Structure 1
């Protein structure tokens, strides 16, 4: 039974290397949902998890002819998903979207008195962290957060390189997260996020 599975997997990979759409569909149907659940456990966001799974399978198809899978296909896909998420976190993409999701979730929960207090307290700590940022970093962060401008739009507006804007926002988010950790508000944020992902 195990030998048959190994043979079948190897056959699938050979077919995939020739860009066989049927082989790709079989692999996608077998692993997409598993990878999605795995990604959600790591980053607690269905949106980012969906994007991640999509990216992993796009890369699998694009690189099919040059793939060198030494472990099982499942292990390869899980590892690829993990490293993809770690790269997102390093670039600040997850933190940025995480903050958006947390604040939206908190707003939805703020109809009860106790929850209003928690929400206001969280906002106060976030604003305190933003106010502590260096002037240019604060300006860049608020242009993105309050005015909804993309990194590229901010770069053009301030005559800066895209990479400079991205780095400043990543640093701003790191400061905010550290401030929330020190203030004890991270627990509040995780409560909101976990509530919305149950």
Structure 2
């Protein structure tokens, strides 16, 4: 079958359901790179990201008969990749102390139309942090990445707690302009998850 015939979502899913290996090859060629970048943003490790994406495609093929033609395959792949990422670290027992309610809240942000958008927001926030003013960036990373309290940061940098609070507020204000209300979820994915498996 011509590759162009796979560009229709319903047709592509139908071909997958009947076991068309050409459709599966098209799926991999089309979505491997963006899914890998998404998984890498989540895991911060290339080998882990590759494993996660491979698992996404393997599961898609294994359960292809259950695919819903009314849903966009791209969105299903992003959602599956996120779920595989969470499952990977649960297996590693790295998320034992993680609040499952919060994981579910983050999971809900990866719903159908938001998966690809969230991937772009993760990249935007990462770039935005790098572009913060030097002192603001330093204080923000000590807080979010290193997990220091405001008191600890103030003592470490020999500055007032009000200065610390002001700089963190400034960082949040700048970053929220970039991506809006999903900032907390994105920061959680960037820092909290990775602190638990570092």
TM-score by length of structure 2 reads 0.43
| Rg larger for | 1
Query: What TM-score, normalized by structure 1, do the two folds share?
Result: 0.43
